[in-house]
Amino acid sequence: MPRVHALIPSITRAGASLAVGIAIAGGMAVAGSGIASAAQVGCVSPPSANDIRVVGDASCGATATVGNAGATAMDSGTAVSVANGGSANSVATGFGVALSSSRDAGAAHAYAIGGGISHSNASNGHTTISVAGWGSGATAEASGVKCVGPLSFAVNLNTGAVCAMR
């Protein structure tokens, strides 16, 4: 019986990874029709220590003291990424707000689609992913995950903690 219990964290992580892929692919497919005509702005750090840009109603900011930060916003989205070690990535579309932060080799990914608020924070080599759409909220960090409203998804791939609302 101990062997079955030892497999549960691995199965949970595999299921979480699959769910992340489905959530991101589904969200991008739904958002895909508006992306082509929307104003898009991207921020990357390095090479800039603090990259802040606004194009139309879309805005982004990326700051990395150590590691890499990238933020992309479309239409009226706002994306902000901060890395102090590791990598932070955020993407926001139409009224969405995506915030990601990493430190100590963490990898944080936040996606906000059409009005969602998404927050992801990772540290110590861990990976977190949050996806929120149309009036929902999602948070993924070391202390746990939280989903509020429909079309929200969050996962901490280190702990296997997952939440999703339909």
How do residues 120-159 score in pLDDT, each as one tens digit?
A: 999 999 999 999 998 899 999 999 999 999 899 999 999 9
- Is the model's pLDDT at 1 over the cut of 90? no
Rounded to whole angstroms, the Cα distance separating 27 from 163 reads 16
* β-pair partners for 109: 89, 129
- Is the model's pLDDT at 97 over the cut of 70? yes
Rounded to whole angstroms, the Cα distance separating 43 from 60 reads 6
Q: Give the model confidence (pLDDT) of 23-53 as tens digits.
A: 443 444 334 434 445 689 999 999 989 999 9
3-state secondary structure the chain: CHHHHHHHHHHHHHHHHHHHHHHHHHHHHHHHHHHCCCCEEEEEECCCCEEEEEECCEEEEEEEEEEEEEEEEECCCEEEEEEEEEEEEEEECCCCEEEEEEECCCEEEEEEECCCEEEEEECCCCEEEEEEECCCEEEEECCEEEEECCCEEEEECCCCEEEEEC
pLDDT for the residue 8 = 35
Q: Give the model confidence (pLDDT) of 65-77 as tens digits.
A: 999 999 999 999 9
- Whether residue 41 contacts residue 60, with contact meaning beta carbons closer than 8 Å, is answered with yes
Rounded to whole angstroms, the Cα distance separating 30 from 27 reads 5
Closest CA to 72 of 20, 112, 108: 112
CA count, 13 A, side-chain hemisphere, 148: 11
Q: pLDDT above 90 covers what percent of the chain?
A: 70
Q: Record the pTM.
A: 0.77
